[in-house]
């Protein structure tokens, strides 16, 4: 009889994690370049748990397990900002960022210039061009970024943004700070992604869908709590009935 | 439950967003004001099942991991330096910059400040000053008997003195530009000061080196667009409400557990 409760619990643990994922999506509804996350489950056949209440052969019991969080890599809305250092990517590509831990990737195109004139992210990590970092001199003005990612200023051509896409984008790992790392994802140079200057890609989180997800998680969780409660009542009744000494 | 804390970071971020938007709206009619935009970043992820880890000796691996994020934080409030609308004022000492660049101001605390607010005045000594009485660089003195002051589009200030029939040049306004003008720090009173992020000021004159030309008798309004601000405000408010709903949803889940038995 405990099996039913344990199966219910395995689902509740997974639902709690899904609630965390929904909460994180919702918290990042205004984060530039943020990609929605979805949770996938798989059936887990518990090798040690068997149901012997039936006359036919042993029945394996299936528990639930959170199996993966999937990146929903669909494009977010591209919004004009008028800031010349904002870029939005139209296509599957990612911008490359140089961090102390190695190369990282982002869809957040709100770029900045740091004290040395280097093109950086909001955290001051250099954005990579095909030839390395991009640096502007103090007197340079009129920074322009073309559709193919080529950067120019009053001092002429400054190189081209390194835009990469991935053979297996689902293998990307999230690192926070709008960065993805892609050790297993195999980055390939991307030429089909268009770079739009003066615009930014919003998060692709849909508030309505997440709200519906949350309600579903919430209800499923409550149903399971009720089920556990019923199971408990059932057991207490069984103990009472079976344990009564009236013969 | 983590969802409670995650959603609270979301609410805090939207609160910050509304603060930035309301400051933009409050400064909608501030001369030379440049709007700000709150930017956000996701927080660190907890890797519960790592993508790419091996699942068997034959080399099969987990194709997608389980990652649970921990919310959001405000990473920057970027200033958008686009040019605002120009409105005619018919006042001879009102100047607007149509294009890039900033007027150079001598701040009384010794720093050099920069502004897009070209509503200038004359102080008792005839100095060209801002409405706060701060000197506009380079110190241009307009004599008492000056009339018909004209400011050319490259910043040369001329006036007819006394009964002269030829105008006298009084000086030329300086214009500063920065590699990263969005990196300037605002110090209030429509003034900016340079920071390590903005780079040093490049002092030049208007209508040269890619800098904007001056327009006498005009003022630059703020570049706040009321329609986008209001729609951003609505989006921020809804996002705030949704995060609040997540908190109450997580609370319902917890309360269903605590009501067991």
ipTM value for the complex: 0.81
| A104 DSSP β-pair partners | A97
d(CA B131, CA B31): 11
Tokens standing for residue A114: 């740091």
* Confidence label for A90 from pLDDT (cuts 50, 70 and 90): very high
Lowest mean pLDDT among A95-104, A119-128, A134-143, B24-33: A134-143
Chain B contact for A201, CB < 8 A?
no
- pLDDT score at A55: 59
Mean pLDDT for the stretch of residues A123-131: 90
Nearest CA distance, B192 vs chain A (angstrom) = 16
Mean pLDDT for the stretch of residues B14-33: 93
Looking at mean pLDDT, say which of B7-16, B202-211, B252-261 comes out highest. B7-16
- pLDDT score at B258: 86
Chain B contact for A17, CB < 8 A?
yes
- Report in angstroms the alpha-carbon separations of A161 from A53, A133, B135: 65, 9, 43
User: pLDDT digit string (tens) for B35-67?
Assistant: 999 999 999 888 877 766 677 777 776 667 788
Is the Cβ–Cβ distance between A72 and A170 less than 8 Å? Answer: no
The closest CB to that of B66, out of A16, A68, A108, belongs to A68
* Confidence label for A36 from pLDDT (cuts 50, 70 and 90): very high
Is the Cβ–Cβ distance between A80 and A202 less than 8 Å? Answer: no
- Report in angstroms the alpha-carbon separations of B192 from A25, B105, B187: 36, 10, 6
Minimum Cα–Cα distance from A119: chain B residue: B180
- Report in angstroms the alpha-carbon separations of B146 from B8, B73, B89, B192: 62, 56, 20, 31
Mean pLDDT of chain B: 88
d(CA B68, CA B7): 13
In the A/B pair of chains, how many CB contacts fall below 8 A? Answer: 237
* Confidence label for B125 from pLDDT (cuts 50, 70 and 90): confident
CB atoms within 10 A of CB B148: 11
Residues 60-79 of A with CB under 8 A from B: 66-70
Element (H, E) at A236: helix A207-243
Percent of chain B scoring above 70 in pLDDT: 97
pLDDT at A51 over 90: no
Nearest CA distance, B123 vs chain A (angstrom) = 33
d(CA B106, CA B76): 28
- pLDDT score at A49: 61
Percent of chain A scoring above 70 in pLDDT: 93
Chain B contact for A147, CB < 8 A?
no
Tokens standing for residue B250: 């997580």
The closest CB to that of B65, out of A22, A23, A173, belongs to A173
Mean pLDDT for the stretch of residues B167-187: 86
| SS3 state of residue B95 | strand
CA atoms within 13 A on the CB side of B79: 18
Lowest mean pLDDT among A49-63, A68-82, A154-168, B125-139: A49-63
Mean pLDDT for the stretch of residues B15-23: 95
Q: What is the longest distance spanned by two Cα atoms in chain A?
A: 101
Lowest mean pLDDT among A25-29, A67-71, A146-150, B245-249: A67-71
Residue whose entry in the numeric block shows the structure tokens 């397990």: A65
Nearest CA distance, B249 vs chain A (angstrom) = 6
pLDDT at A247 over 60: no
The closest CB to that of A138, out of B1, B81, B179, belongs to B179
Residues 77-116 of A with CB under 8 A from B: 81-83, 85, 108, 110, 112-115
pTM score over 0.90: no
Buried b (16+ CB within 10 A) or exposed e, B204-226: bbbbebbbbbbbbbbbbbbbbbe
User: pLDDT digit string (tens) for B81-112?
Assistant: 888 899 999 888 899 998 888 999 998 888 89
Interface test with A, best of B17, B51, B200, B203 (most A CBs within 10 A): B51
Nearest CA distance, B178 vs chain A (angstrom) = 7
**Chain B residues whose beta carbon lies within 8 Å of the beta carbon of residue A141:** 100, 177, 179, 209-211
Nearest CA distance, B179 vs chain A (angstrom) = 6
Lowest mean pLDDT among A130-139, A196-205, B118-127: A130-139
Scanning chain B, the segments in alpha helix (DSSP H) are 2-26, 226-258
Chain B contact for A174, CB < 8 A?
yes
């Amino acid at each position: 009889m405990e099996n039913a409760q344990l199966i219910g619990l395995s689902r509740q643990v997974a639902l709690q994690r899904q609630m965390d994922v929904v909460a994180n999506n919702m918290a990042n509804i205004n984060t530039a370049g943020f990609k929605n996350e979805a949770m996938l489950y798989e059936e887990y056949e518990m090798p040690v748990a068997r149901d012997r209440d039936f006359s036919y052969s042993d029945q394996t019991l299936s528990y639930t397990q959170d199996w993966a969080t999937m990146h929903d890599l669909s494009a977010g809305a591209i919004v004009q900002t008028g800031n010349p250092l904002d870029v939005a990517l139209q296509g599957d590509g990612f911008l490359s960022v140089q961090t102390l831990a190695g190369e990282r990737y982002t869809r957040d195109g709100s770029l900045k210039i740091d004290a040395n004139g280097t093109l950086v992210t909001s955290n001051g990590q250099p954005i990579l061009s095909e030839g390395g970092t991009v640096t502007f001199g103090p007197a340079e003005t009129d920074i322009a970024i073309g559709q193919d990612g080529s950067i120019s200023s009053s001092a002429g051509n400054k190189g081209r943004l390194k835009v990469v896409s991935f053979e297996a984008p689902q293998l990307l790992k999230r690192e926070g700070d709008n960065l993805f790392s892609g050790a297993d994802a195999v980055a390939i140079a991307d030429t089909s992604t268009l770079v739009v200057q003066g615009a930014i890609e919003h998060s692709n989180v849909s508030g309505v869908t997440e709200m519906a997800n949350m309600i579903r998680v919430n209800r499923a969780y409550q149903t399971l709590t009720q089920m556990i409660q019923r199971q408990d009542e059932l057991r207490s009744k069984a103990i009472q009935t079976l344990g009564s000494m009236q013969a | 439950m983590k969802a409670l804390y995650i959603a609270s970071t979301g609410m805090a971020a939207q609160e910050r967003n509304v603060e930035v938007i309301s400051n933009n709206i409050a400064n909608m009619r501030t001369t030379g004001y440049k709007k700000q935009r709150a930017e956000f970043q996701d927080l660190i992820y907890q890797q519960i099942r790592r993508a790419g880890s091996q699942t068997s000796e034959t080399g099969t691996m987990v194709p997608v991991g389980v990652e649970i994020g921990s919310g959001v934080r405000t990473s920057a409030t970027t200033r958008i330096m686009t040019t605002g609308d120009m409105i005619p004022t018919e006042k001879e000492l009102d100047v607007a910059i149509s294009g890039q660049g900033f007027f150079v101001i001598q701040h009384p605390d010794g720093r050099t400040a920069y502004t897009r607010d070209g509503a200038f005045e004359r102080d008792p000594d005839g100095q060209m000053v801002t409405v706060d009485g701060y000197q506009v660089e380079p110190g241009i003195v307009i004599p008492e008997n000056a009339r018909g002051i004209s400011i050319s589009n490259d910043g040369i200030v001329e006036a007819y003195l006394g009964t002269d029939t030829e105008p006298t040049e009084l000086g030329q306004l300086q214009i500063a530009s920065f590699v990263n003008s969005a990196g300037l720090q605002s110090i209030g009173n429509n003034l900016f000061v340079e920071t390590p992020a903005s780079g040093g000021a490049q002092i030049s004159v208007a209508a040269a080196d890619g800098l904007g030309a001056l327009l006498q008798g005009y003022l630059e309004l703020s570049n706040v667009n009321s329609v986008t601000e209001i729609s951003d405000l609505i989006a921020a408010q809804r996002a705030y409400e949704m995060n609040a709903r997540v908190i109450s949803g997580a609370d319902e889940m917890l309360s269903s557990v605590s009501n067991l038995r």
